[in-house]
């Protein structure tokens, strides 16, 4: 599924066994319910050249969610609801991942997170089984948090910014 002429809003995309791939060129992707939580699952979201990705209701069960954005990656609504559920969450952004401010971080329930960003990274781990996190931000702050997860910081690096990790 893809588009080069219109932004895509995914309100109910579901598979019980397979891969969901959505790609756009010069357009945005907004998710509200995207579920690939059955067997052999993976979810891939990509914007090329320009385009942002806004997340809510993205579920891959124990599968993989891979997101590549030519712009920013944000949550649809500033809240504490989990935006992404996956075994492995891999993301790259040409700008920022999440945003500063109350409840603007991307809320992620994943065993493994690998986040690469040209800008700042704001992410909260929301599950309960522990999360191994790798973050590389070329320029900007990295803010990671959790009130429920044990965090293992595998590698957290920024070339120009403050790194903040908070758990309670």
d(CA 99, CA 109): 18
- pTM of the entire predicted model: 0.93
pLDDT at 1: 62
- Which of 147, 109, 115 has its CA nearest to residue 129? 109
d(CA 54, CA 166): 24
Mean pLDDT by groups of 10 residues along the chain of 168 residues: 76 89 94 83 93 94 94 92 95 96 94 97 94 95 94 95 93
What does the block give as tokens for 48? 């090329």
CA dist list (Å): 10 to 13, 28, 79, 128, 136: 6, 11, 19, 28, 28
pLDDT at 3: 60
Report the SS3 class of residue 97: strand
pLDDT at 18: 85
- Which of 88, 152, 151 has its CA nearest to residue 114? 88
Strands, E, within the chain: which ranges? 2-3, 8-10, 13-14, 17-25, 29-31, 34-35, 39-48, 53-55, 58-59, 64-69, 73-75, 84-93, 106-117, 121-125, 131-137, 142-146, 151-158, 163-167
pLDDT at 54: 96
CA dist list (Å): 20 to 81, 83, 163: 22, 17, 33
pLDDT at 16: 84
Strand partners, 84: 58, 108
Strands 34-35 and 58-59: parallel
């Amino acid at each position: 599924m893809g588009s080069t002429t219109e932004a895509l809003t995914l309100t109910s995309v579901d598979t019980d066994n397979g891969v969901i791939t959505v790609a756009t060129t010069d357009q945005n992707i907004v998710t509200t319910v995207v579920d690939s939580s059955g067997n052999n699952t993976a979810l891939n979201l990509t914007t090329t050249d320009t385009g942002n990705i806004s997340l809510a209701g993205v579920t891959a069960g124990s599968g993989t969610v891979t997101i590549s954005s030519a712009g920013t990656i944000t949550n649809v609504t500033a809240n504490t609801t989990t935006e992404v559920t996956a075994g492995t969450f891999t993301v790259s952004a040409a700008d920022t991942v999440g945003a500063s401010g109350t409840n603007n971080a991307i809320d992620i329930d994943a065993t493994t997170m690998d986040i690469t960003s040209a800008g700042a990274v704001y992410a909260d781990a929301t599950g309960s089984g522990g999360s191994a996190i790798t973050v590389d931000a070329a320029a900007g702050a990295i803010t990671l948090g959790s009130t429920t997860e044990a965090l293992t910081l595998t590698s957290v690096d920024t070339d120009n910014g403050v790194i903040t990790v908070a758990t309670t």
